[in-house]
């Protein structure tokens, strides 16, 4: 298969500056790096292709040869500059791991890790369900969290007390394992020592050399009033223990508020439907409205229609940021009697006749009220 054009691989023009070439390379190398695409053969091939293109175009001499003779100019072909197929002082001398790490903060000298490098512990997430009332008033929850904690026997070193550490036998203390991929040398974090470069000479018996032990912690967590589904509470340092003295991760408590049979929430406001007797809606009066605290006596004006809203100030949720309290919105529905005695029916029929309506046809006031719910 014919090789692709190096400029095309990096996505730059033939007159691209050194800075443009470097910028394009950094973006693509980060995208296709093996550590970000484990087991992806296609990404690995693209990673090598990008590195090959950059190795040529970032060198003034090699770029001039490539511009003049194409791939033959850097592969020792006819009329080429004699790079000897990337050997004998050509591209075979390039350590791609060093090249990559010099861009991405690997510290220069081949990406060696400090043998005493500590690592922050992983964050944990706990999904907590609470009631509508607990979200409104606030709540103190008792959580049982399985997590890794620093081993108290070895203080997190992983070594048996009285013994020390030794250089990792796999990476020889480098923290990385290097291997050849075509004409590039690629480095990956050592799986034996996790990049530390050292392992315990004698593993701690309590943690088996891991430096951490599995425990179950009990935490008291204060849930503030006003939380809603999706709210996240961060408990600093309550996640997984760090490695080699590193800080612990954080614990994130993610809230789910269970639905309520009467109320529902929109923002900081609470909504509730209240059934008003049709006589009260017609003539006016008062009804008792439930709230999250005490019932409220609501005045209903004469002629109130279904769907009308009344607002009870300050009866909603507290704003989490402290910017006030929401309201309760009362949605009116009309309560239609289902059983009438003879006297009540006679009174309604008389009223309908005075209004010029025919109850029997279902078009009178009683029929209209009933039709709302049919």
The neighbouring-strand residues paired with 157 are none
Of the CA atoms within 13 Å of residue 253, those in its CB half-sphere come to 25
The pair phi, psi for residue 199, each rounded to 5°, is -135, 165
Backbone angles phi, psi at 321, to 5 degrees: -90, 5
Asked if 75 contacts 2 with a C-beta cutoff of 8 angstroms, the reply is no
Domain with residues 6-111, CATH architecture: Orthogonal Bundle (1.10)
- 124-257 CATH: 2.10.230.10
Q: Do 6-111 and 263-371 have matching folds?
A: no
pLDDT on residue 2? 64
Kindly write down the DSSP assignment for every residue of 343-359, as one continuous string.
HHHHHHHHHHHHTT--G
For domain 263-371, give the fold: HSP40/DNAj peptide-binding domain (2.60.260)
Contacts for 61 with CB less than 8 Å, ≥ 6 apart: 81
Q: What is the pLDDT along the chain (374 residues), one digit of tens a residue?
A: 567 889 999 999 988 998 899 889 988 988 888 778 888 888 888 888 888 889 889 888 888 888 876 777 676 443 333 333 333 333 333 344 444 444 444 444 343 333 345 678 889 999 999 999 999 999 999 999 888 888 888 887 788 888 888 888 888 888 888 776 655 667 787 877 777 777 888 888 888 877 888 888 889 999 999 999 999 999 999 988 887 767 888 999 999 999 999 999 999 999 999 999 988 999 999 999 999 999 999 999 999 999 999 999 999 999 988 889 999 999 999 988 888 899 988 888 888 888 777 655 444 455 555 554 44
Query: Helix or strand or coil: residue 259?
Result: coil
List the domain boundaries for the chain.
6-111, 124-257, 263-371
Q: Report pLDDT for 183.
A: 56
Give phi and psi for 58, each to the nearest 5. -85, -10
Give how far Cα 270 sits from Cα of 168, 257, 298, 303, Å. 61, 14, 16, 25
In whole angstroms, what is the distance from residue 73 CA to residue 66 CA? 5
Q: Could you tell me if 334 and 282 are in contact, meaning their C-beta atoms sit under 8 angstroms apart?
A: no
The two tokens of residue 159 are: 């070594």
């Amino acid at each position: 298969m014919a090789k692709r054009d190096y400029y095309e691989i990096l996505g730059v023009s033939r007159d691209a500056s050194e800075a443009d070439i470097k910028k394009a390379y950094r973006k693509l190398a980060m995208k296709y790096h093996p550590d970000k695409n484990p087991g992806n053969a296609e990404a690995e091939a693209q990673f090598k292709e990008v590195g090959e293109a950059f190795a040529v175009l970032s060198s003034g001499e090699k770029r001039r040869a490539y511009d003049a003779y194409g791939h033959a100019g850097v592969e020792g072909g006819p009329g080429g500059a004699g790079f000897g197929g990337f050997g004998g002082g050509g591209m075979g001398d390039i350590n791609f791991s060093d090249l990559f790490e010099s861009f991405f903060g690997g510290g220069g000298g081949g990406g060696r890790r400090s043998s005493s490098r500590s690592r922050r512990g992983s964050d944990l997430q706990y999904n907590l369900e609470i009631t509508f009332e607990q979200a409104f008033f606030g709540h103190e929850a008792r959580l049982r969290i399985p997590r890794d904690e620093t081993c108290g026997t070895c203080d997190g070193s992983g070594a048996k007390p009285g013994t020390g550490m030794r250089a990792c036998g796999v990476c020889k203390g480098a923290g990385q394992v290097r291997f050849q991929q075509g004409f590039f040398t690629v480095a990956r974090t050592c799986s034996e020592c996790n990049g530390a470069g050292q392992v315990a000479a004698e593993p701690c018996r309590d943690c088996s050399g891991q430096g951490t032990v599995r425990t179950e912690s009990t935490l008291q967590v204060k849930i503030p009033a006003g939380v809603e589904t999706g709210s996240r509470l961060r408990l600093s340092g309550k996640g997984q223990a760090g490695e080699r003295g590193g800080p612990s991760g954080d614990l994130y408590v993610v809230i789910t508020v269970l639905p309520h049979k009467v109320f529902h929430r929109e923002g900081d406001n609470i909504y509730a439907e209240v059934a008003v007797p049709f006589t009260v809606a017609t003539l006016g009066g008062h009804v008792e409205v439930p709230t999250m605290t005490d019932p409220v006596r609501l005045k209903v004006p004469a002629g109130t229609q279904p769907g009308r809203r009344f607002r009870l100030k300050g009866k909603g949720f507290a704003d989490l940021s402290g910017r006030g309290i929401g309201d309760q919105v009362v949605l009116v529905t009309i309560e239609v009697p289902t059983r009438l005695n003879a006297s009540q029916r006679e009174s309604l029929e008389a009223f309908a006749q005075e209004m010029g309506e025919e109850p029997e046809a279902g078009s009178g006031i009683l029929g209209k009220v009933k039709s709302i719910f049919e």
